[in-house]
A = this chain, B = another copy of it.
Amino acid sequence: MPKLNENYLNVQDSYLFAEIARRVKAYEEAHPDKAGNIIRLGIGDVTRPLTESAVEGLHEAVDEQTKAETFRGYGPEQGYEFVRRAVADYYERNGVKVDPDTVFISDGAKSDTGNITELFAQDNVILVPDPVYPVYVDTNTMDGKKIIYMNGTEENNFLPMPDDSVKADIIYLCSPNNPTGACYNKEQLKAWVDYAAANEAVILFDSAYEAFVSEPELPRSIYAVEGAEKCAIEFCSLSKTAGFTGTRFSYTVVPKELVFSSSDGRKMSLYDMWNRRQSTKFNGTPYIIQYAAAKVLSEKGMKECMENISYYMENARVIADTLRKKNIPFTGGVNSPYIWFKCPEGMESWELFDYLLEKIQVVGTPGAGFGVNGKYHFRLTSFGTHEKTKEAMERFEKLF
């Protein structure tokens, strides 16, 4: 009889968005007259269509697949050279040098942040922020790894800093952060790189929201910090940058400097291991999507993406302005599509959820869904339309 992976018994049910959907549905059924009035600013999915470069690239690549002479079958599991180079060029335009050979193309940062856990043995101490993107916790729980938390709170602007008394082997950082929208500055990231160097720890850096950073002095990659190439793996994606949530393209940078000793003193390279993992358990991202992604990553392609991002950031500004007017403390909204605010009047986050739904038919995400430290906070996203976002904030302003 097969022995199953019993760590799965310890994984929490991912009920957050299901529970939101359940409560919204119950409200709609109880108030059919108000159902059409509901504005959803909860889910972190984009709404703007694909850019011109992406569409052009997709059509062109599909046409290539119609002729035997230009048909492409299996590609390199790591991604085609042309797109790995396009990623490196994009980094370079943002002031960061990355070796294209260390760029691995994949179908999603969620896949890669999940699968990377396979490279690590079970007896590691994993340090994760709270509030947190639940995937970091769930994937390590499935592996039976020991997770410890660091607190993101109002006091530290939801940007936990290293604590020398804590000995972590693997550290998850996400900046600009999901769900809090907070963004580390260079000095703060340097403190993390210094901590990792001192403790020989590995930083798993999720930069999926880097394109939303508008303040030029803020780092968009951990490799903007000297020495990070010796301790950090970076995960990024076109999901939010280019509206690829349904099209799927991501990249992970694994520097060759990340070499550690096995228990009997043999050298093991995380680059080699990830390369072996991907070659064995992955067959590459679809050619047509790689082709389109290379166009998106060009200067012209990115200019188009930035137009969509500006559209979303205008929504963020509207939300942030409303909160400021009401003296409600918040993070995000400037360098991030997320706005994370303190629930007014001492409410808990699920309480506020029900209150907003009931009173003004606005749906957001209760902070409690992201960890203990989210109990009194609430997340709104800027991925709606201008009209709906403005309307939601007008209702909010009248309510409080």
Contacts and interface: CB of A to CB of B under 8 A. Distances in A.
Nearest to A51: B66
A277 interface: yes
A246 B72 contact: yes
A273 B8 contact: yes
Contacts of A107: 107, 282-283, 285-286
B75 A119 contact: no
Interface in A212-260: 239, 243, 245-248, 260
Interface in A52-77: 54-55, 58-59, 62-63, 65-68, 71-75
B6 A262 contact: yes
A199 interface: yes
Contacts of A6: 121, 262-263, 268
Interface in A30-87: 45-50, 54-55, 58-59, 62-63, 65-68, 71-75
Contact of A67 (B49, B200, B273): B49
Contacts of A65: 49-50, 54-55, 58, 246-247
22 contacts: A2-B170, A4-B120, A4-B121, A4-B260, A5-B118, A45-B73, A47-B68, A49-B66, A50-B66, A50-B71, A58-B58, A71-B243, A74-B245, A107-B107, A110-B280, A111-B281, A139-B281, A246-B284, A246-B286, A247-B287, A286-B286, A286-B289
